[in-house]
Structure 1
Amino acid sequence: MTVTNSNNKQVNLLEDPVTSTIKRITIPMIYGMVLLMTFNLIDTFFVGLLGTQPLAAISFTFPVTFTVLSLMIGLGIGTSAVIAKLLGKKETALAKNTATAAMYLAAIIVACISFIGYLITDPLFTLLGAQTSLLPLIHEYMDIWYLGSVCLIGPMIGNAILRASGDTKTPSIIMGSAGLINAVLDPIFIFGLGPVPAMGIKGAAIATLVSWLFGLLFVFYILTKKLDLIHRRLIPLKILFTSCRDILRIGLPAAGANMLTPIAAAIMTAIVATYGESAVAAFGVGSRLESIACLIVLALSMTLPPFISQNFGATQLKRVEEAYKVSIKFILVWQLIIYAILAVSANWIAHAFAKEAAVADLIQLFIWILPLGYGLQGVVILTNSSLNALHKPMIALWLSIIRLFICYVPLAYIGSLYFGLIGLLVGAVLGNMMMAMISYAQFIKQFKHIEFITLEQA
């Protein structure tokens, strides 16, 4: 399918050179994500100014909020994979039905999950290791966050529909604009300004809700009025159920795989919590820094699948293989460069995000060790997203299970038993190394199987 990039030049995902095409569709996504991630980091920065307790409280919320986000990302992956393959096969009417059904489906699911989360807030966060003194602060943030979670269908599912068509410029504009709104409102709602009272950590949640609502309205306008990628009316139940079934066939395993990531983060947070609130606060800052450090990986994980799915639908498998291998090679080199930059800047970063020396020292320790494994983690992420794009979601799910129960968390835990926090961080890096090798080998195996089946059908 042909789309227009930020330079108003036509990009054909099925015919243009692989490397340059991936570059052209990924760069707009990077711009949007840079703004979004930077503004989210600003959110953490402002909360950090409130003190260690609010920073620790928002750090405890990360595994829970990321679980809901991962569920939405999984549904977005299913949506993108199905729609992109249909577009590759030139079945545009069916693609439009699927896109419409995806919006309905995601809204219902996230509303149910968030309502359950709201009901079990206290026991859930107590299980994660939060002390009773932190629960009121966690409530202030999460009660608002749950309320606005349905708005996530805009930036998550709506953007997945746009990416499936090859349009990465519009999603980047939506993400960047929403992030800017969040960053502007954060200090106003957190510390107060004029008639707006200081609301502390609750203000951060309200700023997030407003930015998500903006993203929902923006993407809905684009999808209905500008690009006509979803229906403006209700679709027949038979079409809805059929489309939802196709999405869930990929989306549920993908969501399961994505939700294992915050589960791993929750277990890691619980382990870190045994070292005190300062360690949890530092781990929370490190988790958000990871989002910035792995920005290119995340951007590629969003733009590579539509490219793969469209070419898969058009049975152009050589382009699929080339795209995957080029992306893996690039990300390994890129993340080494990022590690060097972080290591040199570790002291400055640590003191920028922490008022207390103990927290700053721990942030610095995290930066010196964990980013060594980000390139390897990138191999795992891109492999899973590529397998989902090839409609192999169960393989991606099994790889995520292996990462959680065999590699990443177990090695980190064993390291912590013998060498404390340093051992935990080194173990996590070794876990990513082991998982990267397993993931790459599994992709090659699955790809050869797909090639064999395609040749037989031909």
Structure 2
Amino acid sequence: MTKPVEAKSRLSNFFNVIVQSFKGEEIDYTSISIRKAIVLLAVPMMLEMMMESVFVLVDLYFVGHLPNSAEAIQIVGLTESVLTIIYSLAMGLGMAATAVVARRIGEKNTEAASRAGMQTIAIAVSISVLISIAGLIFAKDILLLMGATESTASQGVTFVRIMMGTSIFIMLLFLINGIFRGAGNAAIAMQSLALANTLNIILCPILIRGFGPIPAMGLTGAALATAIGRGTGVLYQIYHLAKGSGNLKVKLAYLIPQIEQIKAIVKIAAPAVLQFVIASCSWIFLAELVATTGGDHGSAGYQTALRLMMFFMLPAWGLSNAAATLVGQNMGAGRMDRAEKSVFVTIKYSMIFMGVVMVLFLTCGHLFAAFFTEDTQVIAVASEALRILSLGFILYGIGMVLVSAFNGAGDTWTPTKINVIAFWLFQIPFAYFLAKYLAMGPTGVFIAIPVAEVGITIAAYLIFKKGKWKTTAV
């Protein structure tokens, strides 16, 4: 009877830890067990990342059932491809904030952590203003540049203007959550996304299809619902920053520019932003390549598959973010052995999760695609893409954890260099060769993606084992 009792006890303890992870309590992650620390951080972070991708999936679901759904899906997908540049800026700044805040928290210097977070917010707001202006002016040109037809670009102008015009919400939602993650308070980050998504899910059908006196707005309604949801999530974040939840005790005075602090943040953020921009530009090129070789249906199928892939991969990214926080805080506490061990324990969990996702896509990919559209041509392309992309999922999971570990240590240059080689010097030329020279069309693009990701994982592992990241000063 001992074994069943022990198993029941372990299961009970596991659920107690999960419940604790939702409470957002102030915990010293440099002293508790590594497995418990990973669960406490990873559960809300995984849910947070999953909910971020829900924004696009909800939009795709509702616009996918509009008349001319292929064009509508393409507009949403191409716009999201462009928005990945904004996501890259936000995630780069967020990663810098996570690294600096986590290091200061590990050093038990909460005031310095709060100052660093607020200085990063000031930088983000300045950048967002410029992006919003560009989006409002060049909305149609952006869609045409991405490979959309003249009629599709004309239909999508308002959608792009709203989505890019409210880029400050995207920027702050990612960034402030990065600050909370660095402080070890992943619960608030998750809660802000839960609130934003709930509003988006409620407003999407109302604004897209119309309800009572509210007219049906189609794509415009989808953009408005997303903007309102994200904006509300940001207000929730600001409330908790002002309240002083957890380790962060912010003051308005911390927003006053401090040149040395800004330089320190930019030193980490610049390569981090470049790191994500490199990847984003590669995705944009691939989207354009699919659109020109596969037409509207090929493009819509690829965008559907990409959104589904990101929905399932973002939880793994959330898991890898737990490694970033643990690496940063343990380095701040001077516990390098614990920082390294945290990475390899996280990798095991990531491999299990991504293995399950791979099986789901290989067996049920067509069912997932059919949920978002009734167009059989779009479903066929999406299903093929999911089967090919999923073959590298387990290695994707390993690579994401390793890259996050570098970033959490403040070594943002290493993943950036890897991305330049993997995406620009290999993936793009390889995809072009397969799609155009060998006339494989979209299938060639699908094949190039997992091949490049495998290379990233191998390179990241070999460099991580050398241990140079342990000497990074933040």
- Using the size of structure 2 for normalisation, the TM-score is 0.89
CA–CA distance in structure 2, aligned partners of residues 109 and 140 of structure 1 = 22
CA RMSD of aligned residues (A): 2.1
| Counterpart check, 1:48 vs 2:64 | yes
Which residue of 368, 389, 396 corresponds with 1:349? 368
Identity %: 24
Change (3 A) 1:115 1:323: same
CA 1:20–1:229: 2 relative to 1, 3 Å: closer
Using the TM superposition, give the Cα deviation of residue 95 of structure 1 relative to its aligned residue in structure 2, in angstroms. Answer: 1.6
Query: Are the structure 2 counterparts of residues 295 and 153 from structure 1 closer, same or farther at C-alpha, using a change threshold of 3 Å?
Result: closer
Q: What is the match of residue 158 of structure 1?
A: 176
- Taking a change above 3 Å as real, the CA distance of residues 317 and 235 of structure 1, as seen in their structure-2 partners, is closer
The answer as to whether partners of 1:409 and 1:431 remain within 8 angstroms in 2 is no
Out of 454, 459, 463, which is 1:433 matched to?
454
Instruction: Measure the CA separation in 2 of the matches of 1:104 and 1:421.
Output: 41
Q: Please name the residue that 2:411 is paired with.
A: 392
After the TM superposition, which residues 246-257 of structure 1 pair with which residues of structure 2 at under 5 Å, given as runs? 246-257=264-275
Q: How many residues align?
A: 448
2:209 to 186, 191, 195: 191
Q: Which consecutive aligned stretches of 4+ in structure 1 deviate over 4 angstroms post-superposition?
A: 7-10
Of 125, 134, 142, which residue of structure 1 is paired with 2:143? 125
Provide the rounded CA distance (Å) in 1 between the counterparts of 2:170 and 2:449: 30
Letter of the aligned partner of 1:439 in structure 2? Answer: A
Residue number in structure 2 paired with 1:364: 383
Aligned in 2, Cα 1:153/1:181: closer, same or farther, shift over 3 Å? same
User: 1:110 is matched with which residue: 105, 128, 148?
Assistant: 128
Contact 1:414 1:424 in 2 (8 A): no
Question: Is residue 322 of structure 1 aligned with residue 338 of structure 2?
Answer: no
Residue 386 of structure 1 deviates from its aligned partner by 1.3
Gaps (5+ residues) in structure 2? 1-19
Between the aligned partners of 1:290 and 1:407, the Cα distance in structure 2 is 21
What is the rounded CA distance, in whole Å, between the counterparts of 1:215 and 1:348 in structure 2?
31
In structure 1, what residue type is equivalent to 2:38? Answer: I
Q: Displacement of 1:10 after TM fit?
A: 6.2
Contact 1:86 1:95 in 2 (8 A): yes
Map 1:308-319; keep pairs closer than 5 Å.
308-319=327-338
User: Whole-Å Cα distance in 2 between the matches of residues 49 and 250 of structure 1?
Assistant: 43
Aligned pairs for 1:9-408 (under 5 A) are 11-50=27-66, 51-227=69-245, 229=248, 231-235=250-254, 237=256, 240-274=258-292, 275-408=294-427
**CA distance in structure 2 between the partners assigned to 1:352 and 1:122 by the alignment:** 29
* Offset from partner CA, 1:268-297 (integer Å, 9 cap, x none): 011101210001101111111012221332
Deviations 1:70-95, CA, capped at 9 Å, x for gaps = 11111011111111111111222222
SS at match of 1:265: helix
Matched residue of 1:234: which SS?
A: helix
Residues 177-186 or 120-129, more deviating:
120-129
1:324 Cα offset (Å): 1.3
Provide the rounded CA distance (Å) in 1 between the counterparts of 2:302 and 2:132: 25
Report Cα offsets for 1:230-285 as digits up to 9, x if no partner: 53423475x52222211111111101111122211111011101210001101111
Give yes or no for contact 1:103–1:153 (8 Å, CA) kept in 2: no
Once the two structures are superposed, the pairs formed by residues 403-422 of structure 1 within 5 Å of their partners are: 403-416=422-435, 417-418=437-438, 419-422=440-443
Q: 1:429 to 1:33 in 2, by over 3 A?
A: closer
